[in-house]
Every structure is written in C-alpha cells, then in structure tokens.
Homo-oligomer: A and B are copies of this chain.
Amino acid sequence: MAPTDRTDKSMSMKAAIAAFVRDGATVCLEGFTHLIPTAAGHEIIRQGRRDLTVVRMTADIVVDQMIAAGCVTRLVSSFVGNSSAGSLGELRRRVESADPAPLAFEEYSHYGMICRYLAGAQRLPFYPLRSYGGSDLPSVNSDLRKVTSPYPGPDGGPEQIYVVPPVNPDVTIIHAQRADRRGNTQIWGLTGVQAEAVYAADKAIVVVEEIVDDEVIRSDPNRTLVPAHAVDAVVRCPRGAHPSFAQGYYDRDNAFYRAWSHISKDPQRLQDWLDEWVRGTADHAEYVDRLGEEFWARLAVGEALSEPVDYGRRL
C-alpha cells in the first residue's frame, strides 16, 4: 500500500521532542559510540526539560551536557566516561560533591543494561545473566537480584543466577542512517542495542541522516532494524550524531572528545559552551552551519559500497 498522510510520521526535531519528551520522563538515548543522538539531546536542552531520568549504556558527552543544563536528576548507566579521551566534568562534580546539585545514579554493567532493554522489549519480569556473582554492585543497586533455576545445576544441585528488571522508558531516541516516512529504519555498521531500546519504550523517536523513498528501504528489508510499527516520529537531522559518527556519512570528531575533557572541567566554560552551541542556536541546522563547511570536510569519508544481494522475484 502507498504511504498515506496517516502513516507519515516525519516531523521536526522541535515538534518531536515537544510531543514525546515530558518533564519527569524516563528518556533513553542509545547508540554505542556510533550514531549517538546528540542533536536530540541538544533540543531537549533548548526546550528546558527538567527532572529527566536518562537511561544510556555509555553516558558520555551528550549526557554530561544534559546534566549540566539541569535536565537530569537520575542516570541509569554502565559507563560514565568520555570514551577513552578523559572525564565528564559535570557528571563527576555531581557525583563526587553534589556540585551544584546531586545526581542519582544507578550503576550497571554493559550486559546488565542490555538485559534490561531485552526484558523491557520482551515484556519479561526479569532477564537472567551470568554476571554480578561476587560483585559489590548488588550492594549499591538493590535491583540486582537472584533467582534459583528450576533445573538442576551442573553439579546436580540448585543453581542461582542474577537477574535484572526490565526498563521501559517513556521514550527512546536513536539516530540512524536512513528511514522511510513511516519509520522503517535502516542502520549499518555498529547496530548496538538500538532495536531493543526502541522496543522497550512506550514511544520512539528515530532521528536520521536521510529520509528516503519507500523503494530504497524495500529493496533490502533485512537492513531494516526497526520496523515502522515500533516508531512514533521520524526526524530528519543530517549530522545529528556529531561528535560521534555515522558509518558512511561522516567520521568521528575525536578532537572534540579530547576537548570536552577540558571544557567540562571548568563549570563556567561548560555553560559558555552550552550558551554558544546549544542554547544560542535555534536548531541543529544552525549548529551545523556555524561549524562551517571546512570543518565538515575534515570529517568527510570516502566511498565503500556493499555488494548488492539478490532477493529474487517470482517469474
């Protein structure tokens, strides 16, 4: 069937954030190093959202920025660092000295977070994993619990295993290379845990480099990681993953990662940066323009096309 107005979910970033991210909400932003939804985080800052619980495996620059902008009161994460490039200044001030305000933090491991998304997406009361035995993490996170298997263990006796509870964000936001207007979303390169994070959520916003014709998506249905039925908004926002990268579109801005350790170390410098680059821009298009073409040329990538596969058609 041809797309109708009713199934066209494309909207502006401003409209999508206004519609689906409310004060006090649990907001998941996913993308593991690749395709981090930075532009969406910036729009949340521009709209001045408050009291958010942010769920994100690798809490990195965009999370530090959202915390510094006063949007976040609680963080659920398994890695709170600026990649291998240094520290997150604001996050450390909040956790180490409640400066300028405390931040509630729920600490997990990567697979613990993945399993929370899996449980949330699969509507399970818990998800088992072979982690945490002997760790101090359960002593600071009472949601890490144990279950006894109803089957005998390897030694014939009862076997215990840790479990994590589901996470069901009010909204999950991901960045992707392309989607059609209905929300069929194609991602290549690192695919992380994006599909599960979307299925775990009540609502989902997909930010894309390009909105493409139906025919592009339908020429390769296996490439669709998130089907339209799981998506509520499709936002076109080229370069919206900067300073992270979009495989085949632009490279990672490693210099900015290194710079962030210095920017975020000084609270005033951090706020000045937000004033200039986030609160002082109308939208991500202006942020992109201000960086300038010469800047983007440095992050440009060459071409490496996949060989097509043949889906065949009945003769």
A295: which B residues are within 8 A, CB to CB? Answer: none
Contact A309 B223 (CB under 8 A): yes
Of residues A148, A153, A310, A315, which shows the largest number of chain B Cβ atoms within 10 Å of its Cβ?
A310
- Which residues, 298 to 315 on A, are CB-close (under 8 Å) to B? 300-315
Contact B124 A247 (CB under 8 A): no
User: Taking the complex as formed, is A23 at the interface, i.e. its CB lies under 8 A from any CB of chain B?
Assistant: no
A161: which B residues are within 8 A, CB to CB? Answer: 124-125
B151, B222, B302: which contacts A188 (Cβ < 8 A)?
Answer: B222
A304: which B residues are within 8 A, CB to CB? Answer: 219, 310-313
A130: which B residues are within 8 A, CB to CB? Answer: 123-124
- Which residues, 37 to 58 on A, are CB-close (under 8 Å) to B? none
Dominant SS among interface residues on chain A? loop
Contact A311 B126 (CB under 8 A): no
A223 to B126, CA, bound (A): 30
Contact B312 A301 (CB under 8 A): yes
User: Taking the complex as formed, is A150 at the interface, i.e. its CB lies under 8 A from any CB of chain B?
Assistant: yes
A153: which B residues are within 8 A, CB to CB? Answer: 125
A146 to B148, CA, bound (A): 11
A17 to B265, CA, bound (A): 62
A148 to B126, CA, bound (A): 10
Chain A residues with a Cβ under 8 A of chain B: 123-130, 143, 145-151, 153, 159, 161, 163, 165, 177, 186, 188-189, 191, 216, 219-220, 222-223, 247-249, 251, 300-315
Task: Provide 5 A-B residue pairs closer than 8 Å at the C-beta atoms, listed in order of the A residue.
Answer: A125-B128, A126-B150, A247-B311, A251-B312, A303-B310
